[in-house]
């Protein structure tokens, strides 16, 4: 459980650095299963397994790995993580929007440019989601840990979520004319040990630089929705997992593809 100070810090900063969540052995098991999915050895099928970069800048993205592998399905329901999520959201019902693995291999791991999440999720409202990002190996500055901009979740959606990235030093390159005068942009690195979890709000500016080290950087983010999140159909926008939606526009987003992991304050079983 989180302390009142940690919850307050999350409200101010838009993220909360590492808390222990999984044992090293559990993280190792998930990492092995991740490689099975990448190699096409899993029992089920993920929504997507793809390289978001190129040969020199590889970022393997897996969306909804929980649909490919039961260990990852159980991970969604991790009661320690979902209890902290419920605290940060201030809601006692929590559902999964989707999960996302990002694996940056040694030496050729590519960048994940600065962005906000919610503008990429236009079909769900409101923008109150919180993600739980778990490192499946130590994530350090050297191998491309996440960086966050404190307080940026309070600045609203920025240009469709794309912040802009300076290639030389991987700093954010926003359109300053869209921000209040005097806004300070001071990114901080968020190193996370294997098995630890870090949380971020869906409007917090974040990104992760390339991995030129000899150590891979596997991690899984689960994007959790408060129980009141609704499906808002917008004919001009879509999302990879929209085909899984079984409710009508305007209704609470739930169903077999959007598991409820906590209800009325209780952690549910996988
Ligand atoms: O894993 C990363 O480096 C980026 C993940 C991310 O953008 C997210 O979890 O929202």
**Please, what are the domains in the chain?**
4-267 (2.60.120.620)
Contact 33, 42 (CB under 8 A): yes
- On the CB side of 234, how many CA atoms lie within 13 Å of its CA? 13
How far apart are the CA of 84 and the centre of ligand 1, in A?
19
Specify the ligand 1 atom closest to the Cα of 221: 9
Residue nearest to ligand 1 atom 7, measured at CA: 207
Q: What is the pLDDT along the chain (270 residues), one digit of tens a residue?
A: 999 999 999 999 999 998 999 999 999 999 999 999 999 999 999 999 999 999 999 999 999 999 999 999 999 999 999 999 999 999 999 999 999 999 999 999 999 999 999 999 999 999 999 999 999 999 999 999 999 999 999 999 999 899 999 999 999 999 999 999 999 999 999 999 999 999 999 999 999 999 999 999 999 999 999 999 999 998 888 999 999 999 999 999 999 999 999 999 999 999
Q: Compute the distance from residue 221 Cα to the ligand 1 centre, in Å.
A: 7
Q: How far is the CA of 146 from the centre of ligand 1 (A)?
A: 7
The best mutation among 34, 59, 102, 204 to test binding of ligand 1, ranked by most ligand atoms within 8 Å of the C-beta, falls on: 102
- Which protein residue's CA is at the shortest distance from atom 3 of ligand 1? 208
Mutation test of ligand 1: which of 104, 133, 149, 203 has the most ligand atoms closer than 8 Å to its C-beta?
133
Residue reference for tokens 């222990």: 20
Compute the distance between CA of residue 237 and CA of residue 138 in angstroms, rounded to an integer: 36
Q: Which of 61, 156, 139, 68 is nearest to 100 (CA)?
A: 61
Flag whether the pTM goes above 0.85: yes
Ligand 1-lining residues (CB < 6 angstroms):
100, 102, 112, 117, 131, 133, 146, 206, 208, 219, 221
What pLDDT shows up at residue 235? 86
CA of 134 to the centre of ligand 1 (A): 10
The Cα–Cα gap between 53 and 169 comes to 18
Buried b (16+ CB within 10 A) or exposed e, 23-37: eeebbeebbebbeeb
């Amino acid at each position: 459980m989180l302390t009142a100070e940690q919850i307050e810090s999350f409200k101010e900063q838009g993220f909360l650095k590492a808390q222990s969540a999984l044992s090293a052995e559990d993280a190792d098991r998930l990492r092995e299963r991740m490689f099975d999915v990448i190699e096409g050895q899993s029992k089920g099928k993920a929504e997507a397994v793809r390289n978001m970069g190129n040969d020199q800048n590889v970022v393997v993205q897996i969306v909804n790995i929980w649909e490919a592998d039961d260990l990852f399905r159980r991970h969604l329901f991790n009661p320690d993580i979902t209890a902290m999520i419920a605290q940060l959201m201030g809601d006692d019902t929590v559902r999964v929007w989707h999960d996302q693995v990002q694996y940056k291999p040694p030496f050729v791991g590519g960048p994940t440019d600065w962005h906000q999440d919610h503008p990429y999720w236009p079909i769900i409202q409101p923008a109150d989601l919180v993600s739980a990002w778990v490192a499946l190996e130590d994530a350090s500055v050297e191998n491309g840990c996440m960086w966050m901009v404190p307080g940026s979740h309070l600045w609203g959606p920025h240009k469709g979520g794309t912040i802009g990235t300076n290639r030389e030093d991987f700093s954010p390159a926003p359109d300053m004319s869209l921000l209040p005068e005097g806004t300070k942009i001071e990114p901080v690195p968020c190193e996370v040990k294997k098995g630890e979890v870090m949380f971020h709000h869906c409007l917090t500016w974040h990104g992760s630089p390339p991995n030129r080290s000899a150590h891979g950087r596997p991690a899984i983010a689960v994007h959790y929705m408060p129980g009141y999140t609704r499906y808002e159909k917008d004919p001009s926008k879509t999302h990879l997992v929209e085909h899984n939606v079984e409710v009508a526009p305007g209704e609470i987003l739930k169903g077999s593809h959007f598991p409820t992991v906590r209800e009325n304050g209780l952690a549910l079983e996988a």
